[in-house]
Amino acid sequence: MNFLNPNHNRKALVIFSGGQDSTTCLLQAIADYGVENVETVTFAYGQRHAIELEKAKWIAQDLGVKQTFIDTSLMKAITHNALMSEQEIKTGDNGLPNTFVDGRNALFLLYAAIYAKGQGISDIITGVCETDFSGYPDCRDVFIKSMNVTLNLAMAYDFRIITPLMYLTKAQTWQMADELGQLDYVRHHTHTCYMGVEGGCGECPSCKLREKGLAEYLASKK
């Protein structure tokens, strides 16, 4: 039994945005697979909080993992939402926040899988979560499982989509970072603000969820 190499040089591809969740997943992947066996893929889809891309580039370089950027900004021509424009962030008549990007995670997983197969990688890690989330349908476990089956059938390849945060609250995600010895790293180097404000605006849904989770976790440690 080789505890120092539990995945036996199996390789992983992390869908990486530079935000809290994907960075925590990346740090966990490095711990599980070894930095030499981890790659990242980052998508530029026309997001207005493009500071994430800068953070993602810096973190990938700092942690020493290969990063591949994929331009999916064509999405701006076929869908409209508050993450890809300057419109006010609010909840729509359908109950979904207008920050929801139709098809985003399906497209990300498809492109990540195409890239992963070309690199001989079968493990794809994504930080989606259906516990503390905004009601996005493409963050649900049922969607991820169905997409896993679809990709395997589409490419005749044994993909394994891994979602380490699926059933964690934001407080538990902070706990995960802390147990990896990386709480301060995630706290100070990641970006999740929808408004693209350095350090967070403190008012958008993403900032509120992040800070609420951090406060809950820090309070639980006292």
Q: What is the pLDDT of residues 42-59, one digit of tens each?
A: 998 766 667 888 999 999
Output the pLDDT for position 216: 96
Residue 101 confidence (pLDDT)? 60
pLDDT for the residue 77: 61
Instruction: For 135, list phi and psi in degrees, rounded to 5.
Output: 90, 10
Report which of residues 3 and 176 the model is more confident about.
176
pTM of the model: 0.88
Q: Model confidence at 134, in pLDDT bands (50, 70, 90)?
A: low
Q: Does residue 108 have a known ligand-binding role?
A: no
- The dihedral built from the CA positions of residue 148, 153, 154 and 155, taken in this order, carries a sign that is positive
Is 95 annotated as ligand-binding?
Answer: no
**% the chain with pLDDT above 90:** 61
Q: Reply yes or no on whether the pLDDT at 75 is more than 60.
A: yes
23 is in an annotated binding site: yes
Spatial contact of 36 and 50, defined as CB atoms under 8 Å apart? no
Is there a binding annotation on residue 129? no
Mean pLDDT of 89-94: 54
Report whether 24 belongs to an annotated binding site. yes
pLDDT at res. 95: 55
d(CA 220, CA 51): 31
Please give the structure tokens belonging to residue 162: 């891994």
d(CA 28, CA 114): 23
Is 19 annotated as a binding-site member?
yes
8 dihedral zone (left: phi>0; alpha: psi -120 to 50; beta): left
pLDDT at 69 over 70: yes
Query: Residue 164 gets which letter from DSSP?
Result: T
159 labelled ligand-binding: no
Q: How far apart are CA 189 and CA 23, in angstroms?
A: 9
CB atoms within 10 A of CB 213: 20
Mean pLDDT (the chain) is 86
| CATH fold group of domain 12-191 | Rossmann fold (3.40.50)
Q: State the burial class of residue 181 (Cβ atoms within 10 Å of its Cβ: 0-12, 13-18, 19+).
A: exposed
For residue 21, say whether it is annotated as part of any ligand binding site: yes
Is 200 labelled a binding residue? no
Checking 207-216 for CB contacts under 8 A at 24+ apart, the result is 209/132, 209/134, 209/170, 210/20, 210/170, 212/170, 213/132, 213/169, 213/170, 213/171, 213/173, 213/174, 214/170, 214/171, 214/174, 214/187, 216/169, 216/170, 216/171
**Range among 49-63, 93-107, 145-159 rated most confident:** 145-159
Structure-token pair, residue 145: 């499982």
Judged against a pLDDT cut of 90, whether residue 148 lies above it is answered with yes
